[in-house]
Structure 1
Amino acid sequence: MAKQLTLIRGLPGSGKSTLAKTLDGVHLEADQYFVNEQGNYHFQPQLLPDAHQWCLAQTREYLLAGQSVVVSNTFIEHWEMQAYVDLANTLNIPLTIKVCHGKYKNIHGVPAETIKKMRQKWQD
């Protein structure tokens, strides 16, 4: 199978990570930046821009190494995907965008009020 980039978008608890694990390719998400060597997740909002830069850099690295990549992030607004779209275009790699609408327990403990605000900003 030729390498490709798949973006999975959706609100917290929509099934992004679950779907990503069923697809071929290296699974990346910005939340992985907040997991320490012991496997504990500790979100630090002030580091979110760094986490997204890390995720994009890892995506580039794996694609350049010839591997398919699946990125599952919220991607609430279209501009949040643009760097990945540009990367796929630059590397001439097929891009697929999938949207999750499931209603599962969000594993990162995102407050309901935050999810409500994200829902209001959501761009189809």
Structure 2
Amino acid sequence: MKKLELRLLRGLPGSGKSTLAKTLNLVHIEADQFFENDKGEYCFDAKLLSSAHQWCQSQCEYNLSHNRSVVVANTFIKLWEMDAYRKIAQQYNAELIIDTCRGQFKSVHNVPESVIKRMRKDWEA
């Protein structure tokens, strides 16, 4: 049986995380999906960010528990933001792979440049 994989793609908005995730043959999950309505429109609400990340983690765990490998594409600016996924990978004996995307594309979610600048300053390598 093939070993389960949990791949985390981290990077600033517009770095190519979602684009790369879509090319992998893995279940693709990201917190931004939580903000998409039934029509596929992106409706971000900062007050729901914590819920979005909880949803993302639960979707990841659900898929791994059903023997499906997963790719999670989130910014993961701070290293501790990956801790929950490290525990989930360990729980399901999944190989954890962490990749950093460094592309310079336009943010598909129209994140303001001031926010990206702050994220760049706060980035933990």
Shared fold (TM-score greater than 0.5)? yes
Q: 4+ runs of 1 displaced by more than 6 Å?
A: none
Trace 1:2-17 onto structure 2 (pairs within 5 A). Answer: 2-17=3-18
Structure 1: how far apart are the matches of 2:25 and 2:45? 30
Aligned to 1:45: 46
State the percentage of identical aligned residues: 52
1:97 and 2:101 correspond: no
Which residue identity lines up with residue 5 of structure 1 in the other structure? L
Trace 1:1-124 onto structure 2 (pairs within 5 A). Answer: 1-124=2-125
**CA-based RMSD:** 0.7
Which residue identity lines up with residue 122 of structure 1 in the other structure? W
Structure 1: how far apart are the matches of 2:90 and 2:59? 17
CA deviation after TM superposition for structure 1 residue 29, in Å: 0.2
Query: Number of residues paired by the alignment?
Result: 124
CA deviation after TM superposition for structure 1 residue 22, in Å: 1.2
Question: So what's the TM-score if we normalise by structure 2?
Answer: 0.97
* Unaligned stretches of 5+ residues in structure 1: none
Specify the SS of the correspondent of 1:21.
Answer: helix
CA deviation after TM superposition for structure 1 residue 2, in Å: 2.6
